[in-house]
């Protein structure tokens, strides 16, 4: 089993988030949904930044939070 905070696991999670972002690319988010989407993007970018800096604990936290925010939007729009 891979360590949850390993660089490899985080890179896999980042790629998964990118696939999930493709699912919502045609949705025009507005209001609070747009704020949630923007925050998910910010955490995604933060995860990539911290992974590059070898701060895997922070990178892991950021990508997992990003997944949660994006999953909520995908649920609201009937994608999961």
For position 60, which CATH number holds? 1.20.1270.90
- Is the residue at 24 inside a domain? no
- Is the residue at 16 inside a domain? no
Given its phi and psi angles, is residue 17 left (phi above 0), alpha (psi -120 to 50 degrees) or beta?
alpha
What is the span of the domain harbouring residue 40? 32-79
Asked if residue 2 has pLDDT above 90, the reply is: no
**Number of structural domains in the chain:** 1
Tokens 């999930």 -> residue: 20
Alpha carbon distances (Å) from 56 to 9, 19, 46, 49, 53:
10, 21, 11, 10, 8
- Is the residue at 67 inside a domain? yes
- Is the residue at 50 inside a domain? yes
- Is the residue at 70 inside a domain? yes
Q: Closest by alpha carbon to 77, among 39, 28, 41, 42? A: 28
- Is the residue at 4 inside a domain? no
What does the pLDDT look like over 10-63, one tens digit per residue? 999 999 999 999 999 999 999 999 999 999 999 999 999 999 999 999 999 999
Q: Which residues, at least 6 apart from 13, have a Cβ–Cβ distance to it below 8 Å? A: 47, 60, 63, 64, 67
- Is the residue at 69 inside a domain? yes
């Amino acid at each position: 089993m891979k360590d949850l905070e390993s660089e490899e696991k985080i890179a896999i999670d980042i790629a998964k988030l990118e696939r999930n972002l493709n699912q919502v690319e045609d949705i025009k988010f507005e209001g609070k949904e747009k704020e949630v989407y923007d925050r998910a993007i910010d955490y995604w970018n933060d995860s990539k930044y911290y992974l590059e800096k070898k701060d895997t604990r922070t990178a892991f936290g950021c990508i997992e939070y990003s997944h949660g925010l994006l999953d909520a939007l995908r649920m609201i729009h009937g994608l999961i």
